[in-house]
Structure 1
């Protein structure tokens, strides 16, 4: 199918990413007068996830004639542990980078009571919003659909570079508070490093859940450990380095795991 060739697959994914990102605020904005409250943000994030599932399914079913199983959105206990491990990896990378920035006197912590005190009763919901709004839908699209599609036609190393690179480059449209040209470039580098860590997690775990966890853990770490805006560029550089290191650690851990040969299943009447 033409839609499964690398240029078309990536181009379609870019369109889908923008459609799903704007779907939540648009739909909630049409249904609710105030789109800034916690309820509106939650509904918007949930809408983005649902639209993402529908769009990825439609692209695979009608454009690529691909099985849904290829996105590797498997449901099992191992998926739960992979997701939790990913959250830990992403959060630790962010917290470590910020701690280094503070230790180097590049910035300082924001006292939690100045920002999080009023949000404590709604903290689980506040942490779920970035997962539903960004982590899950973006990972389903890029590390689920696009990774699977490109893997059928390109070498693994090329797939990893392409998926991480395009994902990072798209963040030129989302600068996250970057002001100077250097900060904007570092923001893209950090997004690319996040894409690399998520792609390696998808490649080594064989499913999309660890990638969702890494992406979600990254945003959770950002929200739980707030720092001053001073030294923003340095913080981005440190986070990018921490994410690349995280990708390397995930790769090494899975490489070090002993390879288990499949256990033969006895056939009645035969000896094994």
Structure 2
């Protein structure tokens, strides 16, 4: 990577880059649909065909992020900074556990104060573990990794070249939330509950942005995103009702605490406000 290339400013205003990133989500979804159409004539089992589709979405997100980085930010194309498999796996699992803890707390509050109930799973043992693992893999490839690569990977790094940390976190959280008005509408959700879902997604965006800031790579954020989607579905906390505000508040609270811990850690290290250059050179896409 040459210093001249790295020092070139992005081609477009930050707001344009935000819109391009949001459009990129539809790009990787289109890649998944294209793969589904390609494998359809082979008559594969629906679960197997689904894995091909989400793998296509993950690959599509890598392509979109590479194009944005090279032609919008005018920076050399490179993958997410290499980290050891153990380090990446550890960050992923830590994120999953943290998300499960947050959503578990939300479930407890719903049961105690909102009339919710605990629901038994229809199966147990290895069958349940296998289904959860398969569902987690689908979420990882089709939702968590591609969305984190674009928002907390490319966009976080791109905006950090010009904006302070608080503005970057706000931008990647709000843009991510706004997109969920249409990207995950729910079959019977009217506009009001779509907006509620967007509020919850903004809280999730803040939580994973904090994970990106604290962990230094996207992997903690990917793990948290995966764990959130998996446990929210398993615990029944993702329904389109007013309790979405509770989920959003819990996620935003977690993100705020993590950001404060990151700030405290930076101060102890003698670097309270990371420079844009240092962040841009970090492990994002």
| Structure 2 length-normalised TM | 0.80
Name segments (4+ residues, structure 1) moved above 4 Å: 33-36, 114-120
| Alignment match of 2:204 (pick from 187, 194, 201) | 194
Output aligned runs, 1:38-57, within 5 Å.
Answer: 38-57=47-66
- How many residues are paired up? 259
| Alignment match of 1:62 (pick from 60, 71, 83) | 71
Report the CA distance between 1:55 and its aligned residue: 1.8
Report the CA distance between 1:113 and its aligned residue: 0.7
Report the CA distance between 1:84 and its aligned residue: 2.2
| Alignment match of 1:106 (pick from 92, 111, 115) | 115
- Note closer, same or farther for the CA distance 1:150–1:93 as it changes in structure 2 (3 Å cut): same
User: Alignment partner of 2:243: what SS?
Assistant: helix
| Alignment match of 2:136 (pick from 105, 124, 127) | 127
Aligned to 1:215: 225
CA contact (8 A) 1:172 1:184 kept: yes
Output aligned runs, 1:138-177, within 5 Å.
Answer: 138-173=147-182, 174-176=184-186
Name the Cα RMSD after superposition. 2.8
Aligned to 2:11: 3
Output aligned runs, 1:229-240, within 5 Å.
Answer: 232-240=240-248
User: Alignment partner of 1:112: what SS?
Assistant: coil
Aligned to 1:86: 95
Aligned to 1:244: 252
Output aligned runs, 1:22-33, within 5 Å.
Answer: 22-33=30-41
| Structure 1: segments with no counterpart, 5+ residues | 262-272
Aligned to 2:278: none
Report the CA distance between 1:192 and its aligned residue: 0.5
Report the CA distance between 1:169 and its aligned residue: 0.1
Aligned to 1:15: 23
- CA distance in 1 between counterparts of 2:149 and 2:123 reads 35
| Structure 1 length-normalised TM | 0.83
User: Alignment partner of 1:233: what SS?
Assistant: coil
| Structure 2: segments with no counterpart, 5+ residues | 1-8, 271-285
- Note closer, same or farther for the CA distance 1:139–1:188 as it changes in structure 2 (3 Å cut): same
- CA distance in 2 between counterparts of 1:113 and 1:94 reads 21
- CA distance in 2 between counterparts of 1:226 and 1:80 reads 27
Please give the per-residue CA displacement for 1:141-172, whole angstroms capped at 9, x wherever unaligned.
01010111111111221111111101100011
Report the CA distance between 1:107 and its aligned residue: 2.5
Matched, 1:225 2:235: yes
Report the CA distance between 1:4 and its aligned residue: 4.7
